Structure 1
Amino acid sequence: MTAPVVLVVAAGPGVSGSVARLLAADGYRVGLLGSDAEAVDELAASISDDPDVVRRAVVDATDVAGLTGELTQMARAFGRVDVLHFNPSAYRGKNPLEVTVDELLADVAVGVGALLTSVQAVRPFMSAGGRITVTGSVAADRPSPDAATLGVQKAGVRNLVTSLDAHLRGDGIRAVSVTVRGALAREGAFTPDRVAAAIVAAARQDEAGWRTEVPYDG
């Protein structure tokens, strides 16, 4: 099949699900990977019951071997990867004097390290025109002391996106992080669907003026 493919890491009912549905409506085949089997199944069912259109896998984003294996298997089954959307982050309600080093590193493994795993797994299946998109957050710029690890994750993943883009752009593959400067809501400018539309638009920006970080202010 020649239809384009999007793989979504940390697929669920929020922004990641909206990205999946938006691209599916545009003719993409969709691969969904997440740790919550029920959420992954519900999202898949909302898109299609055709296994040639939607594939799913339940996997922990910090399981390097597991995530690599599932992504590789899915990419091989589809035959290509055109968009990799990375959505994971870990919320821990602790301030900088409460959180331990082990907890910080565990959360960074979710919100940053899993992007490395994902890109390394799918790179053999991406070609010129491929895109890597990441759900970013204003926490990268204005971290909350009540959730100290989240800002570290979001600043780190934005930095990694910049490095990935610099490394891959010679092959025509680009990476972008969309900084969501507001709280997700069921109505208004920060619904998952509107944020997803901003992510898709960022993936389709003109390469001549490519930005690796695109703010979404609603």
Structure 2
Amino acid sequence: MTDAYAYADADAGADAAKVVVVTGASSGIGEATARRLAADGHRVFLGARRTDRLDALAREITERGGSAAYQRLDVTDAADVKAFVAAARERYGRVDVMVNNAGVMPLSPLDALRVEEWDRTIDVNVRGVLYGIAAALPVMRAQGAGHFVNIASVGAYEVSPTAAVYCASKFAVRAISEGLRQESPDGGVRVTLVSPGVTESELADGIADPAAREAMRAYRAVALPASAVAAAIAYAVSQPAEVDVNEIVVRPAGSAQ
């Protein structure tokens, strides 16, 4: 199911339209964010490994009057992320917003010793964000302006059983985001950390540990639509240059999750 947005004309509001690059754009929060920001009149450049989905999404956006392009992206490869950002800049002339969204959540108790899953979590959730910053920050500094939107989780504030490594990765994203904010005292580069609670996505589909997978199914009984998180991102992106929305936590109403 897709969200029915009334698409603005990106060319009509050229001064307000921004160039937004989104990682992990093939599903979930990334896909919803691409749709929402394109509908708001921004030009979106989409990255993920599943190019068939990116192609379908970019076609949908352009058919509705928006502006979208894509390139295959592996956020665990620093050179690939750098090339991705360079391609966005070459196509649109600049990069105004970097949405570091790509993430994985392979939960398991530590004594299961799923070391390869730990490594994958760190590679995608932490290194992927750092590689995004490394690729886009020089571009934004050269422009004199830019905005990072880093997607964390309520797991960036609390730890739960089976989620120690996942939460550690999101604590890291929170720390990296705050450090980047403090290192941008002139306000030229803005930083927003968005931490969703339980959200409809494919994140839980990759949980191999049977007990953790079953617990997550119960945990996700009440979940936000991805479009709700996209709306929070759109709010931060829409603020005037002198306003930096630093942290947004979004949960299902009435839920502690």
TM-score exceeds 0.5: yes
In structure 1, the partner of 2:98 is 84
Check conservation: 1:131, 1:173, Cα contact below 8 A: yes
Task: State the secondary structure of the residue aligned to 2:111.
Answer: coil
In structure 2, the partner of 1:71 is 85
In structure 2, the partner of 1:41 is 55
- Distance 1:151-1:55 versus aligned 2 partners, 3 A rule: same
Shift of 1:197: 0.3
TM-score when scaled to structure 2? 0.74
Matched, 1:200 2:234: yes
| Identical columns (%) | 29
TM-score when scaled to structure 1? 0.86
Quick check: which has more Rg, 1 or 2? 2
In structure 1, the partner of 2:155 is 139
In structure 2, the partner of 1:13 is 27
Task: State the secondary structure of the residue aligned to 1:146.
Answer: coil
Check conservation: 2:125, 2:169, Cα contact below 8 A: yes
Find the aligned partners of 2:157 and 2:177 in 1 and give their Cα distance.
Answer: 16
RMSD: 2.8
Find the aligned partners of 2:222 and 2:231 in 1 and give their Cα distance.
Answer: 14
Residue ranges of structure 2 left out of the alignment (5+ in a row): 1-10, 202-220, 253-257
In structure 1, the partner of 2:133 is 119
Task: State the secondary structure of the residue aligned to 2:186.
Answer: helix
Find the aligned partners of 1:106 and 1:188 in 2 and give their Cα distance.
Answer: 27
Residue ranges of structure 1 left out of the alignment (5+ in a row): none
Matched, 1:56 2:56: no
Task: State the secondary structure of the residue aligned to 1:124.
Answer: helix
Check conservation: 2:108, 2:162, Cα contact below 8 A: yes
Shift of 1:203: 3.3
Check conservation: 2:191, 2:244, Cα contact below 8 A: no
In structure 1, the partner of 2:194 is 178
- Distance 1:211-1:54 versus aligned 2 partners, 3 A rule: closer
Shift of 1:33: 0.5
Could you report, residue by residue, the CA deviation over 1:106-157 in whole angstroms, capped at 9, with x for unpaired residues?
3112101111211221223324452111222112223332233211111111
Query: Where do 4+ consecutive residues of structure 1 move more than 6 Å?
Result: 206-209
Could you report, residue by residue, the CA deviation over 1:45-79 in whole angstroms, capped at 9, with x for unpaired residues?
221169x9322111211011112112212222211
Matched, 1:152 2:168: yes
